[in-house]
Amino acid sequence: MTDSDAANRRLAAKRHNEGIKLLANAFHSLSLGVAGAALILPGVTSPAKLLEPAPFIWLRVAVAYI
């Protein structure tokens, strides 16, 4: 293997790793958004809904993605 081939492999590996990091970051941001929506939206629309279990189910869904 030449130096050029090794350099190309390293560059391809770095691109692949960056893609994986971006995907992981997107899922993390999505889970934070779901968690925020699960807790904030019911409290804003009607505070009595915070006593129902639905927001906590969505919170568990968000935590599952973290």
Domain residue limits, the chain: 25-66
Query: How confident is the model at residue 3, as a pLDDT?
Result: 77
Quickly list DSSP for the chain: --HHHHHHHHHHHHHHHHHHHHHHHHHHHHHHHHHHHHHHHHHHH-GGGGGSSHHHHHHHHHHHH-
Query: How confident is the prediction along the chain (66 residues), in pLDDT tens digits per residue?
Result: 677 888 999 999 999 999 999 999 999 999 888 888 877 887 788 777 666 777 677 778 777 766
Q: Is the dihedral of CA 29, 30, 31, 34 positive or negative?
A: positive
Query: How confident is the model at residue 66, as a pLDDT?
Result: 61
Q: What are phi and psi of 46, to 5 degrees?
A: -155, 110
**Would you say the pTM of this structure is higher than 0.85?**
no
